[in-house]
């Protein structure tokens, strides 16, 4: 008996054959002793399973049970899958671009506060005298007293230079 004939006998027992084919298969099992033996064995197996006692059930539904197994398999596959190496674009997006943005913010804040210092022309009063100095290496120290509205500028030669070598005096306009 070939596997296809065995499957027909099983389909007959399970009630899966159309009526005409079921009658033909039943008559065939009555004529063929091997087919009749298989049909009797399948009936006995079905009856033994039905009388074997209570079936063990799962605490959750079948779909939930198998979905847990599927999720665990996927989790293990993700862990075993090697991570691709980061490309240059990923490195740029992840590290260099944020660092550049932070640098631009710092530069902007520094430029804002640096630009807040008033230029010399804005600090000078219109009627204040203008002082010109012709020191080759000179230093100037500025003192401002905002409360009194006074500004003092002290001109001095740089350290190590000889003021006697400069014959021209400072001019005040």
Residue 104 lies inside a defined structural domain of this protein: no
Residue 113 lies inside a defined structural domain of this protein: no
Beta bridge partners of 105: none
What's the confidence (pLDDT) of residue 30? Answer: 92
Range of the domain at 144: 123-172
> Among residues 47, 6, 49, which one has the least CA distance to residue 28?
6
Residue 105 lies inside a defined structural domain of this protein: no
pTM as predicted: 0.33
From residue 119, give the alpha-carbon distance in Å to each of 124, 127, 128, 148, 156.
9, 17, 16, 20, 22
Residue 43 lies inside a defined structural domain of this protein: yes
Q: What is the pLDDT confidence band of residue 92, given thresholds at 50, 70 and 90? A: confident
Q: What is the pLDDT confidence band of residue 117, given thresholds at 50, 70 and 90? A: low
Q: Which of 18-22, 81-85, 107-111, 114-118 has the lowest mean pLDDT?
A: 114-118
Overall average pLDDT of the 134-147 stretch: 74
Residue 147 predicted with pLDDT over 90: no
Residue 57 lies inside a defined structural domain of this protein: no
The more confident residue out of 86 and 122 is 86
Helix-, strand-, coil-residue percentages of the chain, each rounded to 5: 55, 10, 30
Residue 64 predicted with pLDDT over 80: yes
Residue 127 predicted with pLDDT over 70: no
What's the confidence (pLDDT) of residue 11? Answer: 93
Out of 13, 36, 51, a domain closes at: 51
Residue 167 lies inside a defined structural domain of this protein: yes
Residue 17 lies inside a defined structural domain of this protein: yes
Structurally, the chain folds into a number of domains equal to: 2
Percent pLDDT > 70 in the chain is: 74
Residue 81 lies inside a defined structural domain of this protein: no
CB atoms closer than 10 angstroms to residue 160: 6
**Residue-wise pLDDT tens digits, 33-51:** 999 999 999 999 888 888 8
């Amino acid at each position: 008996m070939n596997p296809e004939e065995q499957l027909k006998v099983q389909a007959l027992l399970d009630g899966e054959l159309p009526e005409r084919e079921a009658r033909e298969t039943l008559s065939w099992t009555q004529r063929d002793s091997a087919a009749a033996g298989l049909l009797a064995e399948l009936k006995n197996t079905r009856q033994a399973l039905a009388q074997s006692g209570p079936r063990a059930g799962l605490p959750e539904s079948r779909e939930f049970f198998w979905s847990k197994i599927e999720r665990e398999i996927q989790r293990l596959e993700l862990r075993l899958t090697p991570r691709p190496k980061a490309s240059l674009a990923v490195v740029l997006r992840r590290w260099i671009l944020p660092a550049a943005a932070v640098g631009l913010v710092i530069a902007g804040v520094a430029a804002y506060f640096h630009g807040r210092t008033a230029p010399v022309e804005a600090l000078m009063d219109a009627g204040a005298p203008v002082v010109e100095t012709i020191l080759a290496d000179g230093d100037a120290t500025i003192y401002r007293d905002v409360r009194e509205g006074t500004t003092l500028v002290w001109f001095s030669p740089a350290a190590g230079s000889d003021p006697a070598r400069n014959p021209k005096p400072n001019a005040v306009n």
